[in-house]
Amino acid sequence: MQLDPFGIGNTFFKIQQAWLRHPQQQMEAQRELAASLWMLNLNALTALAGGNAKTAEKPAHGDERFHDPEWQASLGNSLMVQHYLAYTRWLERTVYDTPDLDSKERHAGAFWTRQWFNALAPSNFFFTNPVALNKAMETRGASLAKGVEHFLADLKAGDVQMLGNEAAFTLGKELASTPGSVVFRNELIELIQYQPVDKKVHAMPIVIAPPWINKFYIMDLNEKKSMVRHLVKEGFTVFMISWKNPGADMADNTFEKYLLKGMLQAIEVARAITQAPKVHAVGYCIGGTALAALMALLNRKFKPTQMPVAHWTLLSSLADFSRPGEIEAFINEHSLATIEQLMEKQGYLDKKQMSSAFRMLRPNSLIWHYVVHKYLYGETPPSLDVLYWNGDSTRVPRAMHTFCLRQFYVANNLARKDAIVLDGHKLDLGRIAQPLYAVGTTEDHITPWAGTFKTAALVQGPVRYVLSTSGHILGIINPPGATSKREFWAGDASGATDSATWLGDQRKQAGSWWNDWCAWLREGCGPLQASPPVGLPDYPVLCDAPGTYVRET
């Protein structure tokens, strides 16, 4: 298992056996490849003869590996790239089209094929990268020397291919700087209450549950990109959960405990401080999945008038895991056994083990881009707040993570009526009657938007769905302003089952979806009234935001 933790060998053995049972189809696929490569060579001969040859294979939109003009400056480089693209696309397509193999195995095979050929791209090697060669000649080897320096520094730091400059940011200053106070702390969470900007705020507070696999300040980056700061300026009282970074002593903390002593406890504290009977709850990524489970649990336990949550928001969150995206390639019995062995030994899944898997979902932008620019070009990576946050991930405790993998990704039990029991109650998302505002993003590689859309058909209450351009992070952290390049679609999705049909009925809008969200929140969060105190005698201010848990490594 240590040699092949994801069961890649087993996947490709099944693919090989399947193709051996279909020799005729195999020959047809090989003829297709031969014809494609022959056309590339014919175009090259035409160009050598002075003819007008067209580039038959071009990089996909957004593929920046061969964007530099140097790749097209010579016929040899151009032909090398075209051969690479042609063979890669053919093989990935062929693996995906393997006959008589279930879709999960075909998806996994195509995923690992893509990983392998992304690693073998000519851009990743010095002698086949014309940009790297030219830089080395122009700098008389200084770019190579700098690249070696970067590599040795990353090796010493224990993170080869470190994404950014950690020294450029300090929590509470450049990041997570919105004024606030920690008003509650237990063994799982610190709860931050942010200071109001005006004397009057909307009556109903907002409680945000970020994912526990990263730290909360992705929602409170710098002043211009902070979702928290934007909500406060719009007149909302905001509470933020900051999850503790667990060690081996927290190995037995369960998903149920994260819900009851984490999220529900935060909601109760917010209600007590603001004297509001209900709150608006927000969940991001796996925090949103947990919020969906909590909403199902609360709708079992309470009558509608007693519900502590009036309405809720899901940000890039799955409740139906039938198509969880490319992460599905990591989910099989072989890989789960490996992960569970690691967690049994450590008590948790380490943040480096977690982040490595997520980087592999977007290898060209999160792995090979930095390998090329840092080590081959000798460039210093930019100091970007999102990259700093991306590297500041957390551990996850064994019991809770095992539950999430088995119950959500493997069995898809959250989407099944009464299949999960928490706190003595069977969960049924169909009992959730509170209005939902759900957001997905067009380029999400972690929670594909078509998957997040499925929640609309699982819940009973009205649903407003928003699709934002960009990916899992930048599609959500998308502040309004003249510089915003984003667009979005928004409309009613109550009971809808077909995401493509819904999208076809919507009008694309320019700018940030945050304005649409705040307008929706204002309708449900009550009239303006005097802002509540920050903390109470029963919930005294413990320290200034961003607190202590967020600083744990």
- Burial (CB < 10 A; 0-12, 13-18, 19+), residue 359, is middle
Alpha-carbon dihedral angle through residues 405, 408, 409, 410, given to the nearest 10 degrees: 90
Terminal Cα-to-Cα distance of the chain (whole angstroms): 28
| Count of beta carbons in the 10 Å neighbourhood of residue 478 | 24
- Residue 300 CA, chain-centre distance (Å), reads 30
Catalytic residue among 285, 404, 518, 525: 285
Instruction: For residue 134, give the nearest of 63, 65, 85, 71 by alpha carbon.
Output: 71
Instruction: For residue 316, give the nearest of 125, 455, 483 by alpha carbon.
Output: 455
Q: How far is CA 475 from CA 329, 434, 486, 520, in A?
A: 24, 25, 8, 19
As a whole number of angstroms, the distance between CA 11 and CA 396 comes to: 28
Q: How far is CA 489 from CA 4, 234, 464, 499, in A?
A: 42, 22, 11, 12
Any catalytic annotation for residue 285? yes
Which alpha helices (H) appear in 236-348, and where do they start and end?
A: 255-257, 265-274, 286-301, 333-346
Report yes or no: 195 and 528 within 8 Å, Cβ to Cβ.
no
Structure-token pair, residue 73: 């400056």
- Which residues are catalytically annotated? 285
